[in-house]
Structure 1
Amino acid sequence: MSLAILGVNHKTAPIELREKIAFNPESIDRALYHLSQHPLLGGCVILSTCNRTEIYLSFEQISDLDRVKKATEKWLCQYHGIELAEYSDSLYWYTDKEAVDHLMRVACGIDSLVIGEPQIFGQVKQAFSYAQENGTACVELSKWFQRVFNVAKRIRTETKIGANTASVAYTACTVARQIFSEAHQLNVMLVGAGETIELISRYLRQHGFNKIIIANRTREKALKLAVNIDAEIISLPEIAHRLKDVDIVISSTASPLPIIGKGMVERTLQARNNQEMLFIDLAVPRDVEAEVADLAHIHLYTVDDLQSIISTNLEQRAVAAQEAEYIIQEESEQFMLWLKSRTAIELIKEYRQQAQLIKQQLEDKALHAIEQGADVNEVIRLLSHRLTNRLIHAPTVTLSYAASQECECLTLLSDSLGLNEP
């Protein structure tokens, strides 16, 4: 059994490309179902965040890898209605040991935009949960992800990978405080009510912003968050006429289309007498039209723009990342031993089934001969002779070949047949 990852992330593709192949939560079930129907695949998991889209695969034999690659890339392009040529330079593949290492790095935050950020761990767990619910998490994938979760927790415990606040949420609030000095006079609108927005709301509350408005598709999901930070709740359609009341907009939704357009912001600026506004768009696909950045008095930051801002405070985490690598290598090697043992188990099953089939065939012949009046002693001798010949044929051929080639596996073959025992 082999494992593979097909992916694109913030290191290989800009946001303009990443948002075209992102999966929103509503589409994950359908995507998992269609992808899992391919006959070569034993299971699949899809992870889609603002910084990456990765597809984790299990398939029978490494010799099938080229066909698995072509089939998965074709499916991804057809599903999103894109051309492979547009993405060929941005896509990456990892298999077996490299795949195991990569997912461990992703889950503990080493491969994130902000080293050690904690949100990705929850996102990986959610991706696996979706696969479990849809029946696409096979034994190998389940074992892989469970090992990854344990490794991520171990790294958090044994290293300082999470030391020094440097999350995307924190950085968004830092940008706001840099542009506007008097936080207590500022009004903020949060668009969405997911984990990232929840983290941002905590930082906003700590720094004493004047008023917070939460705009979300469903009121129920926003209510719990609003109670904690004493915020007002509005619906998404109300954003257009409430923008004039806020100075900062921080957005992170799963909407497939922009929620805030250039025309909406132009009308808002007129109503505000061109007072400065800050938009921080953490969503992929983007919630705010890119053209909004062209307007005077507007500051627009996307998730990619935050990278240069947050890179200065990560030295300690970089050291911790090196420590984490030792843990990853140790754990991944143990997992690969288990994965290889799975192959042996399947071969052993097949070998036993083959031996049982030979036994059954010869036994049936012997019983039939006895029923026809053949001498029982002669039938038993013939059965023993034929059974022995059939069972030792393949090992004999293999031993002869290994000996003729002076193959190093000759000793192993001899041991496996008990020939070197005293």
Structure 2
Amino acid sequence: MVLFSLVATHADIDLETVAQLSNGASGIATSALSGSPAVTGAVVLATCNRYEIYGEAPHADDVEAARAALVSEISGLSGLNEQLVSRSFSTRTGPEVSQHLFAVSAGLDSAVVGEREIAGQVRRALITAQHEGTASSGLVRLFQAASKTAKDVGAQTALGSRGLSIVSVALDLATDLSESPDWSAKKVVVFGTGAYAGATMALLRERGCTDISVFSSSGRAEAFVATRGGTSLDSDSLPLAVAAADVMIGCSGSDTRVEAGELAEIRADSPQPLIAIDLALTHDFDPEVGQLDGVELLTLESVRLAAPQEQAESLTQASGIVSGAAQAFEQEREARSVDSAIVALRRHTMNVLDAEMERVRARHGCTAAAEEVEFALRRMVKQLLHVPTVRARELAANGQQDDYVSALETLYGITVEQPATAAQAECPVDHRGLETA
């Protein structure tokens, strides 16, 4: 089995294209698995500034076919032409897959370097794939190793110790733009009830904000505020809350968004200025709201430009941990890849031995002589298998495991069966109620 990934991030393309690519992200893994034999597993990582698909294919020769199948599915779900979709994604294979995902999970590839929110998003991506039955065993191990690496970086380095995140940087920007830095006197409306909305609520509380209202187009606001505090809004109460708000924060990425004309009408009689923070990749607020009198619009691009730089020493240390973890993962994966071949060789050899012993027993019965013959043969077989087993591990460590498998098939006619691709696991979280940032 071969791991690969398709990567579209803020570092390579504009966020608007990332948002368009992400349309229909929740169904891409299932549709790809059912539509192409070249895709045997898939996990989708879609966040506010990246859209990445991690996949597994039967062989290296199948990666291109798997990529084509995914590009076609994404094109169909997003409405973008296949050429644009194909250009938007870079393809990684081999060690590049783990190196990149581990760096992402550790916050090294984020718009706010060192942010910790991405580690949770990586974990949830795997849980969702397991719940949907699209996570192959190889992908499960990859994502579990990525989560462990993120924990190691957090525990062993100062990276992210300042508690920076996309949300915290956005709130810092809003503070700088406000006439008063006192959040306890501000009225805030939050759009969304997903992970980003939860993080936003927590940070607003830390800054002393108590007047927080929450709106969800899916109707989940009441349940959301029941555990976090705040006031739930519906379509009828939303306009009045927005009219009185000092800050509104978009975290939902739903199909419903606040249009500039609508906001101008709602705020027509509002004397205080409004800061609109749009953290949704697909925009909760019409970009034109930033042109309205009395409205300041902050976007993900604003956050990216304002994000402070981490210390070089912390980055170097974190990068070393990531590289070491990726190398260890690849070595373990290569060693594991020959396990099936070793098992097949042992099974073949032991079947030959058992057949020979049947003939010995048929001729001599269960005598002491027959037992001595069996003992001698088993000891000889064990010695004969020792060198091929050690050699298999050595070849795997050098990335030559395919040569070993081919040799077995050529010399002995042994067909090496791959382990089961699906690592089904009961998902402990119900994701049907999650809204993404």
Shorter-chain TM-score range = 0.7 to 0.9
Separation in 1 of the partners of 2:294 and 2:221? Answer: 31
Question: Are 1:14 and 2:14 matched, yes or no?
Answer: yes
Counterpart pick for 2:65 among 64, 67, 83: 67
Question: Are 1:188 and 2:188 matched, yes or no?
Answer: yes
Residues 334-349 of structure 1 aligned to structure 2 (within 5 Å): 334-349=328-343
Query: Which amino acid counterpart does residue 329 of structure 1 have in structure 2?
Result: S
Separation in 2 of the partners of 1:194 and 1:106? Answer: 21
Tell me what 2:372 maps to.
none
Tell me what 2:327 maps to.
333
- 1:271 deviates by 2.4
Separation in 2 of the partners of 1:299 and 1:142? Answer: 43
| CA separation of 1:100 and 1:266: change in aligned 2, threshold 3 A | same
Query: Which amino acid counterpart does residue 239 of structure 1 have in structure 2?
Result: L
Separation in 2 of the partners of 1:33 and 1:300? Answer: 37
Contact 1:106/1:112 (8 A) holds in 2:
yes
Contact 1:40/1:59 (8 A) holds in 2:
yes
- 1:153 deviates by 0.8
Tell me what 1:133 maps to.
131
Deviations 1:167-189 (Å, cap 9, x if unpaired)? Answer: 11111211221111323443211
2:108 alignment partner, SS class: coil
Deviations 1:31-90 (Å, cap 9, x if unpaired)? Answer: 332122221222110111111111111112112222222222122212222112224443
Deviations 1:324-344 (Å, cap 9, x if unpaired)? Answer: 121122221221122112331
Separation in 2 of the partners of 1:362 and 1:205? Answer: 76
Residues 7-86 of structure 1 aligned to structure 2 (within 5 Å): 7-22=7-22, 28=26, 30-37=27-34, 38-86=36-84
Tell me what 2:376 maps to.
none
Question: Are 1:250 and 2:249 matched, yes or no?
Answer: yes
Query: Which amino acid counterpart does residue 290 of structure 1 have in structure 2?
Result: P
Counterpart pick for 1:222 among 221, 224, 229: 224
Deviations 1:309-329 (Å, cap 9, x if unpaired)? Answer: 11xx3232x432211121122
Tell me what 1:319 maps to.
313
Deviates more, 1:154-163 or 1:83-92: 83-92
| CA separation of 1:64 and 1:206: change in aligned 2, threshold 3 A | closer
Question: Are 1:295 and 2:289 matched, yes or no?
Answer: no
Query: Which amino acid counterpart does residue 284 of structure 2 have in structure 1?
Result: D
TM-score scaled by structure 2? 0.75
Structure 1: stretches of 5+ with no match in the other structure: 371-394, 396-408, 418-422
Tell me what 2:213 maps to.
213
Deviations 1:186-243 (Å, cap 9, x if unpaired)? Answer: 321111233322332333334344632222231343223542xxx2221255323431
Contact 1:114/1:167 (8 A) holds in 2:
yes
Separation in 2 of the partners of 1:156 and 1:136? Answer: 29
Deviates more, 1:106-115 or 1:325-334: 325-334
Residues 359-370 of structure 1 aligned to structure 2 (within 5 Å): none
Question: Are 1:121 and 2:102 matched, yes or no?
Answer: no
Tell me what 1:263 maps to.
261
- 1:16 deviates by 1.4
Structure 2: stretches of 5+ with no match in the other structure: 364-387, 389-402, 412-437
Q: Of the two structures, which has the highest relative contact order with CA contacts closer than 8 Å and spacing of 6 or more?
A: 2
| CA separation of 1:238 and 1:362: change in aligned 2, threshold 3 A | farther
Separation in 1 of the partners of 2:149 and 2:62? Answer: 29
- 1:244 deviates by 0.8
| CA separation of 1:142 and 1:287: change in aligned 2, threshold 3 A | same
Tell me what 1:309 maps to.
306
Tell me what 2:232 maps to.
233
Counting aligned pairs with the same residue, the percent is 24
Separation in 2 of the partners of 1:11 and 1:85? Answer: 20
Separation in 2 of the partners of 1:298 and 1:167? Answer: 24
CA radius of gyration, larger in: 1
CA-based RMSD = 3.1
Deviations 1:261-317 (Å, cap 9, x if unpaired)? Answer: 1121110231215x421110001211111222222222111112211111xx3232x
Separation in 1 of the partners of 2:13 and 2:237? Answer: 34
Query: Which amino acid counterpart does residue 315 of structure 1 have in structure 2?
Result: E
Separation in 2 of the partners of 1:136 and 1:209? Answer: 41
Separation in 1 of the partners of 2:349 and 2:140? Answer: 31
Separation in 2 of the partners of 1:350 and 1:80? Answer: 44
Contact 1:193/1:225 (8 A) holds in 2:
no
| CA separation of 1:356 and 1:169: change in aligned 2, threshold 3 A | same
| CA separation of 1:225 and 1:95: change in aligned 2, threshold 3 A | same
Query: Which amino acid counterpart does residue 72 of structure 1 have in structure 2?
Result: L
Deviations 1:78-118 (Å, cap 9, x if unpaired)? Answer: 22221122244431111120000000001111111111111
Tell me what 1:146 maps to.
144
Tell me what 2:397 maps to.
none
Aligned length: 363
Separation in 2 of the partners of 1:241 and 1:81? Answer: 36
- 1:360 deviates by 10
1:46 alignment partner, SS class: strand
